[in-house]
Amino acid sequence: MPHTERKELRPEETDQRLLSPGGQPTLWKHMDSIQPVELWQDEGTSGCPQEGFSCSPDSSELVQECLNQFKVTGTQLRQIQASLLGSMEQALRGQASPTAAVRMLPTYVWSTPHGTEQGDFVVLELGATGASLRVLWVTLTGTEGHRIEPQSQEFLIPQEVMLGPGQQLFDFAARCLSEFLDALPVGNQSLQLGFNFSFPCHQTGLDRSTLIYWTKGFRCSGVEGQDVVQLLRDAIERQGAYSIDVVAVVNDTVGTMMGCEPGSEPCEVGLVVDTGTNACYMEEARHVAVLDEDRGRVCVSIEWGSFGDDEALGPVLTTFDHILDQESVNPGAQRFEKMIGGLYLGELVRQVLAHLAQHGILFGGCTSPALLSQGSILLEHVAEMEDPLAGTARVHAILQDLGLSPGASDAKLVQHVCVAVCTRAAQLCAAALAAVLTHLQHSREQQALQIAVATGGRVFERHSRFLSILQETVKLLAPGCDVSFTPSVDGGGRGVAMVTAVAARLAAHRRLLEETLAPFRLKHEQLAMVQAQMREAMAKGLQGEASSLRMLPTYVRATPDGSERGDFLALDLGGTNFRVLLVHVATEGVEITSQVYSIPECVAQGSGQQLFDHIVDCILDFQQKHGLSGQSLPLGFTFSFPCRQLGLDQGILLNWTKGFNASDCEGQDVVCLLREALARRQAVKLNVVAIVNDTVGTMMSCGYEDPRCEVGLIVGTGTNACYMEELRNVAGVAGSSGHMCINMEWGAFGDDGSLDMLSTCFDASVDQASINPGKQRFEKMISGMYLGEIVRHILLHLTSLGVLFRGQQIQLLQTRDIFKTKFLSEIESDSLALRQVRAILEDLGLPLTSDDALIVLEVCQAVSQRAAQLCGAGVAAVVEKIRENRGLEELTVSVGVDGTLYKLHPHFSRLVAATVQELAPHCVVTFLQSEDGSGKGAALVTAVACRLARLARV
């Protein structure tokens, strides 16, 4: 072909034509063996067609005008892409009008194939092939098995059945089913059936679909407005031959997506270009307003054939499109489909050929009755005439069958007409697909979307060039999407069976998941039982009787009343770091100055004298830095190790934890050890007033802000509670009036077996692997140290059942403590989309599907909800006891809370409060988050003790 330049019709669009990488217009790409009609002209030439065409300049202009109508610029394609994208998102939000361009219908298909689906399935296909019905037996063999080809049988539907009563049609379908199954060794087995019903329907569930109107020559009465699945079920029941469960009703587009062989990328888009055209894709359920569902993905059928009915396609509609539309059975409707669908491509070609013939450019100006008859040129003819490998002989043969006498140059011009019509169809289809891909990329917030698109339909099957143009155009319009195209394997048969199989898999997995999590879903009666048992254990513990609750007196006799004033020192020892705090309590509030000191490992595990000397050295350093040297300040000591308290300033260390093992300390009064160290450093003059645990410090810290705060709660790595008890109820402590703060040590609740009925096998596994089997049972069901481990054991169990990770054992998941409790807080965060949940879990080496991410989320929710409800039942027991102690109809009380699980988990605090309200309806409970209970709280315990001491002296 000689060097040419474009004869510009619209100069402003020169740089907007979609070009191939070599700069050649995509219209002619892949047509190297066909010389196109010269729509380009050499400099200085007349512009007449070359290669033997003998026509006048006027004829050349007419050819050019006809074919240029089918050219679509890059700008126009992007406008179509943007317009369809806007229509999709409007329809998803439920804002579309009844005559909307696209309908975005949820199909209630919630998952794509894993490749593990197995079993035998029956498929009934009605409407996909016109006046026939197809029944298939499809065997799926999972990942390992070789594929078994479906068995099928086609039944011609009599005209009187297509036009008769609806019951007659469905009874005919049921008889065909029975006849087909009679030839198979079915026996008495229960069969699962997928129903491919290819008519416009309103679907309200996977197995519920109401026919909107008949098409394709069907006019059965009494069906429109009815659930076609129920009509089929009724007919099968009347037939009575087989036990068949209609699991799913599926359209062919969804079947196409689901029939795609699993590959390296998830196949989450289905594209059909057959008689008509449509697409579907996996949408985030939270984006589909009509579903009112915020989790997972659902397949949405776009119903894009009607796109452009609102004139959005006006700029690219040709004269021939308008003629075709007006002569169709539905003028003004399905405008997009009429530019793309296989039913219409041949008709568009016929319109152009007739136009050119009538103007004397083709066939010597002669037409034929066939050329002027609607529907005489089919998709198959277009594909064959355009095929460069077939040469012009096949074109001549097809034209002669139409009663035409093509000349020497006519065949090539006819080929170019076919190229123009089909190229435009592929490019328009690509623009629509690019809109879907762009939406997916943005909604999933992915810089590079990697996805597979399943293709199906006769246009893809019979027109090899259509897919290559589609792919090339999609790359240009959606450059951030890495798309692989995969031919679907019998979407109407195997694809529908796959939908059925996936639905069966999800249902089976749902049953197994519910069975696994059922023990974690506590009923009101169970929580009320926990509350009652805790009340009983509290009463026994207070009286010194055998109980899993030790109910230890703390010798804290009052909460702050707001009159406390002065400067106090606080010490906080509970881990590898040690804090010294100066707490100034004034009318304006509390002011804290603090410094952190490290406890070297050699000190933590050396002698007791060495440890307490180090503590005093830190106090001395703090005093010197803050101008406190020589001052004797009251001191509160938060000592977060197990102690038996004998007075406010007496605490016997029972045993070290948290990596401490200083010698000669266990069994000793730690306040005495501190005082002895102070005496050895005579420069330090301090008055150790109180030893405090962090639970009491939490209550006191919040009590300064709210005088009604009489309960302290810790829910972090561990859990504990304290509260103000009537002194008369505390055995072993002198006095019968006033109050005493009781350290419940409730983590051990249930160690006597009282919680066994709520304990699961997963709790037992966590307990047995702990450093203290059989102890701290309540804590092991509630606190942050253990919840992640409970989840890990559940995930292992679900994997062994095949519910998770396709049943593949994940080695990393075998590692103890790999699943941190902080992951529960992150996974359950409402602000995180499911893709971020997947990222969190994939960082753990868990190869997740969307289904897996949802299941892990549900497991985390069940475990954390049980923990919060048990915690709430404990708080309800405490506040109810306070109310009854005081003989009140209604108690108003506040609970001071600290701990990372309570503070960081997105739902824990709400669930605790809801449970308390449910179990203690006569108590108005406010939860306050503590600020520095172990520091500020210890100082306030000291301040209250000093206030009470002054009052006693007075």
Distance of CA 468 to the CA centre of its chain: 33
pLDDT of residue 52: 37
Using the Cα atoms of residue 11, residue 15, residue 16 and residue 21 in order, give the sign of their dihedral: positive
User: Annotated catalytic, 83?
Assistant: no
Q: How many CA atoms lie within 13 A of 80 on its CB side?
A: 30
**What CA–CA distance (Å, rounded) separates 575 from 578?**
7
The string of pLDDT tens digits covering residues 344-353 is 999 999 999 9
Distance of CA 137 to the CA centre of its chain: 33
Contact between residue 579 and residue 925 where contact means Cβ atoms under 8 Å apart: no
**What CA–CA distance (Å, rounded) separates 158 from 951?**
103
Q: Thinking of the domain 58-99+308-487, which architecture would CATH place it in?
A: 3-Layer(aba) Sandwich (3.40)
Q: Name residues whose C-beta falls within 8 Å of residue 360's C-beta, 6 or more positions apart in sequence.
A: 59
Catalytic residue among 694, 763, 851, 898: 694
Which residue type sits at 639?
F
Using DSSP, state whether 450 is helix, strand or coil.
Answer: strand
In the chain, which residues have pLDDT < 50? 1-55
Catalytic residue among 60, 87, 547, 640: 640
Distance between the two ends of the chain, CA-based, in angstroms? 115
φ, ψ of residue 829 in degrees (nearest 5):
-65, 130
Of 895, 939, 899, nearest in space to 638 by CA: 939
641: left (phi over 0), alpha (psi -120 to 50) or beta: beta
Structure tokens at 111: 């998952």
Residue 224: burial class (beta carbons within 10 Å; 0-12, 13-18, 19+): middle
**What CA–CA distance (Å, rounded) separates 209 from 201?**
6
List Cα–Cα distances, 39 to 13, 42, 320, in angstroms: 16, 10, 19
Using the Cα atoms of residue 19, residue 303, residue 417 and residue 10 in order, give the sign of their dihedral: negative
User: Annotated catalytic, 579?
Assistant: yes
**What CA–CA distance (Å, rounded) separates 210 from 233?**
14
* CATH of region 105-260+490-510: 3.30.420.40
Using the Cα atoms of residue 607, residue 611, residue 614 and residue 620 in order, give the sign of their dihedral: negative
pLDDT of residue 521: 97
The domain segmentation of the chain, as residue ranges, is 58-99+308-487, 105-260+490-510
Residues 184, 189, 190, 192, Cα dihedral to 10°: -40
Of 572, 894, 557, 890, nearest in space to 705 by CA: 894
Catalytic residue among 233, 465, 579, 792: 579
Query: If residue 626 lies in a helix (H) or strand (E), which one and from where to where?
Result: none
The string of pLDDT tens digits covering residues 494-550 is 888 888 888 888 888 999 999 999 999 999 999 999 999 999 999 999 999 999 999
pLDDT of residue 339: 94
